[in-house]
Chains A and B, each alone.
Chain A
Amino acid sequence: MRDPDPFVPRLFRVEEARRENADTTTLGLVPSHGEIPSFLPGQFFMLYAFGVAEIPVSVSGLSGTGRLLHTIRAVGAGSRALCRLRPGDFLGARGPYGSAWPLDRAEGDDLLLIAGGLGAAPIRSALLRALAERERYGRVVFLYGARGPTELLFRPELEGWQRRPDLEVQVTVDHAPPSWRGSVGVVPERIGHARFSPAHTTAFVCGPEVMMRFTASALLAAGVSSERIFLSMERNMKCALALCGRCQFGPAFVCREGPIFRYDRIARLLFLREI
């Protein structure tokens, strides 16, 4: 028997489509045949909106009923078509691909999970895993920045997390109306206010690249080692199989060595132009 063609997506059915904010939707998917593929937090799938486009999207978690969750922001043709899908619709998916958040390596450390904007999607899957195995870590801190209060993702869940005694949650927004009771300011500024022991901290960061650069600098300034900072990088992709070179990032392919990289291994590239 021949191996299945790695470019051929599996058929998945949309079982839920939850609107997170004005332009972002979480889809709950199940395969039309067979098991849900196992994945590690931080990995991504190539999601195919039939006849439109195939795009990389991180797994944002697994629902209580075993649906594979993807949180998608409508920015262009592919993502818009995926956000328009409704329960009962189908899409194609192949994966999972890429590197994962090194949760095992972080065992025994304080865990600092830092998300900006849509970065909350891949961070969420790491957070859920860490909460499920809470005893493996010291303090667990979730720092989350968004543009404004109405743009926050996973809002009902966020409130639940904020009530947990074993998790410190800090949410901050760039701009807010006076009715907002929370913090206004940028994520790197909040790092100094979180409780963690820098020498024993592993940090996972996901967000726009500029935000990640500033955040990594603030983490280093706070005393976190560059070998314990991990960033999730985004590059356009086509094959996701390390064949086409579309996602090249210096000597690495983001679809294979990434998307999650150790900061000290990519710091130089982050400051290079034209990469």
Chain B
Amino acid sequence: MSDPKIALAGHRFFSGIDPAIVETLAECAREVSFAAGEYLVREGEPADRFFLLEYGTVALELHRPGRDPLVLETIHEGEVVGTSWVVPPYRWSADARALDLVRAIAIDVRCLRGKSDSDPKLGYELLKRFLPLFVQRLEAVRLQLLDVYGKSPD
């Protein structure tokens, strides 16, 4: 396994981050991989990790009784899987399934929470990185909801 510090510092989500923060993050990080079809997380389970994708694609899916799951979004190399750990009730709101071989850095959130409680700089940095992600996803969902390619754009 390669050094998580190098992988973290090189990941797009943390580009330009203070090396001291990388040191701290690395203490909570480990490299993981998933075969195609494997689930990274399941809806309803405790959101105790998030993943920085280094390779491969992950589908966020919503399970529907008696029907095929619906793919809400796909997440690609350089992006992050998992935002449910940021806000209560800290449970996954969708399944995350590997569409092909996935390599990622998993960050243990319990470890991170402990560290960011005692280091506000770390907490602030994480917030700065995650907040735009929430806004971007909210805008994307709005656009999807509008169903702009439907027959009556008006």
Which A residues are CB-close (under 8 A) to B146?
A: 210
CA gap between A246 and B61 in the complex, in Å: 45
Contact A184 B147 (CB under 8 A): no
Among A57-65, A85-93, A97-105, A169-177, which stretch is in contact with chain B?
A169-177
Which A residues are CB-close (under 8 A) to B144?
A: 174-175, 186
Contact B71 A174 (CB under 8 A): no
Contact A184 B74 (CB under 8 A): yes
Which A residues are CB-close (under 8 A) to B68?
A: 177-178
How many inter-chain residue pairs (CB < 8 Å) link A and B?
70
Which A residues are CB-close (under 8 A) to B99?
A: 181
27 contacts between A and B (CB under 8 A): A75-B151, A116-B148, A117-B148, A118-B149, A174-B143, A174-B144, A175-B70, A175-B144, A177-B68, A177-B71, A178-B69, A180-B71, A182-B74, A183-B74, A184-B74, A185-B73, A185-B140, A186-B140, A186-B143, A188-B139, A188-B140, A189-B136, A207-B149, A209-B153, A211-B148, A214-B139, A214-B143
Contact B73 A184 (CB under 8 A): yes
Interface residues of B (CB under 8 A from A): 57, 59, 61, 68-74, 76, 78, 97, 99, 136, 139-140, 143-144, 146-151, 153
A224 at the interface (CB under 8 A from B): no
B129 to chain A, nearest CB (A): 14
How many residues of A are counted as interface, with CB atoms below 8 angstroms from the partner's CB atoms?
31
Residue-wise interface mask of A (138-175) relative to B, using a CB-CB cutoff of 8 A (1 in contact, 0 not): 00000001110001000000000000000000001011
B contact face: mostly helix, strand, loop, or mixed: mixed
B47 to chain A, nearest CB (A): 21
- Given A176-B71, A186-B140, A193 and B148 touching (CB < 8 A)? no
- Given A175-B70, A189-B140, A208 and B76 touching (CB < 8 A)? no
Contact A174 B76 (CB under 8 A): no
Contact A193 B149 (CB under 8 A): no
Which B residues are CB-close (under 8 A) to A175?
A: 70-71, 144
- Given A178-B69, A184-B59, A184-B72, A210 and B143 touching (CB < 8 A)? yes
